[in-house]
Amino acid sequence: MTGSDKLRQICLLSYDYPPNDGGISRLAGAVVEELSRQRRLSEVVTLRRDDGKDALRPPVPTRVVPFNKLWRDLSTFRYLLGLRRGTQVLATIWNPEATLAWLAGLRRFAVMAHGNEVMPYPSGLKFALKAALRRRVLAAAGAVICNSRYTEKRVQAISPSAKTVVICPAVDADRFLGYDDQSACRRRLGLPVDKRVLLSVSRIDAYKGHDVVLKALAQLPVETRQQLHYVVAGRGSHLPQLQQLADRLGLTDCVTWLGFVDDEALPALYAAADLFLLCTREDPQSRGVEGFGMVFLEAQAAGIAVLGTAIGGIPDAIVVGEGGWLVAQDDVAAVAGHLSGLAADLERYRVQGRLGRERISRDVSWEKYVNRLRSVLEPTDV
């Protein structure tokens, strides 16, 4: 019997799962589809939906548990206790999913680590107890799948005995091809056809750094700024403050606030842009950080140059000179320099966009991600 034949079937345990719009949900959906294609998926355990959107989930064996927290966790715990021997559980986050696997006494389970959830907790007894639980669960896992070198360092600082491995997320590059008519995409979205378009796609939280882009735009000479247009896609609690900042800086006509953009519309949105940028900062107080940044992969898959901060896991998502650049956290002047460069020399940014697309097509795919995942989860004792 070959090693591939002996591989345990994998059960994915994720309460954050399609059709949710978060990064963990999208990661879980992509992993499930590839595991299913490779015939290594046992089933998915996730939350019941009452909004009729179950059809938007991948068509794979799925067990749903109640949405109510108490009944959710009791149902999951009972399921894990009765799990068929030899099934490998992969939890998409340490709590409550991996915690329930640990409490159920599973000898072999793995957990993903993403960034924010392994940031240090504030002081206080409640957080001290949660930190102790996190340390125990991560140490007990058969593998902690970290999405970047940054996240791995965070996990190792929390639980030095944790068995960590870095597997950077992937992207479905084919999904972002076929949108070469940039002007048509802009007209469809109501964006200016004759300007250089900057794009940020993310939740609108303070640590995401949208304010850095606004301040950089405000530093530019008027004639340069008039060549640029900033498009912000996403929703979040910090949106009103950002809009007020844009008004104070005199940027009202330079910015389009798109709000939430669903996955179906993302390829055309990326194709409409000339530069994708997200100036995320590491904010220990709010426990905010970019553990990796899948949006950078998406933009590069679409052939768009990218600009990010050299913070968190972003350096694992951007290869400088092969798709984009990195700047220091809160370096408004450096961002302004790139915006001036975009206005003056569009071709330089198009070259980086082409290089980024080539790298993603060559090196990054969900098949490669899951193959690496399988090599980590494959048992050695069967």
Identify whether the C-beta of residue 55 lies closer than 8 Å to the C-beta of residue 72: no
Q: HEC string of 107-133?
A: CCEEEEECCHHHCCCCCCHHHHHHHHH
Q: What is the pLDDT of residue 4?
A: 44
Q: What is the pLDDT of residue 93?
A: 98
Using CA atoms, how far residue 135 sits from 73, 105, 144, 185, in Å, is 20, 16, 12, 47
Q: What is the pLDDT of residue 262?
A: 86
User: How many Å apart are CA 71 and CA 66, to the nearest integer?
Assistant: 6
Q: What is the pLDDT of residue 179?
A: 85
pLDDT at 206 over 70: yes
Q: What is the pLDDT of residue 3?
A: 43
Mean pLDDT of the chain: 93
Identify whether the C-beta of residue 299 lies closer than 8 Å to the C-beta of residue 270: yes
Average pLDDT of span 348-377:
96
pLDDT at 71 over 60: yes
Residue ranges and CATH numbers for the domains of the chain are 3-170+365-377 (3.40.50.2000), 173-363 (3.40.50.2000)
Bond into 96 cis (ω within 30): yes
pLDDT at 191 over 70: yes
pLDDT at 53 over 90: no
User: How many Å apart are CA 318 and CA 139, to the nearest integer?
Assistant: 30
Q: What is the pLDDT of residue 1?
A: 33
Q: What is the pLDDT of residue 379?
A: 59
- Closest by CA to 231, choosing from 206, 251, 205, 207, is 251
Q: What is the pLDDT of residue 2?
A: 43
Q: What is the pLDDT of residue 54?
A: 75
Q: What is the pLDDT of residue 22?
A: 79
pLDDT at 382 over 90: no
Q: What is the pLDDT of residue 8?
A: 66
pLDDT at 21 over 90: no
Average pLDDT of span 39-60:
88
The percent of residues above 90 in pLDDT, for the chain, comes to: 87
Tens digit of each residue's pLDDT (9 = 90 or more) over 76-97: 999 999 998 888 999 999 999 9
CB atoms within 10 A of CB 193: 12
Bond into 19 cis (ω within 30): yes
Report the sign of the C-alpha dihedral through residues 222, 224, 227, 232, in that order.
negative
The percent of residues above 70 in pLDDT, for the chain, comes to: 97
pTM attached to this predicted model: 0.91
Average pLDDT of span 328-342:
98
Average pLDDT of span 348-373:
96
Q: What angle do CA 363, 369, 375 make, to 5 degrees?
A: 120
Q: b/e map of 30-66 (b: 16 or more CB within 10 Å)?
A: bbbbbbbeeebbbbbbbbebeeeeeeebbebebebbe
Tens digit of each residue's pLDDT (9 = 90 or more) over 112-150: 999 999 999 999 998 999 999 999 999 999 999 999 999
Q: What is the pLDDT of residue 285?
A: 85
Q: What is the pLDDT of residue 5?
A: 43
Average pLDDT of span 325-329:
98
Q: What angle do CA 363, 148, 112 make, to 5 degrees?
A: 105
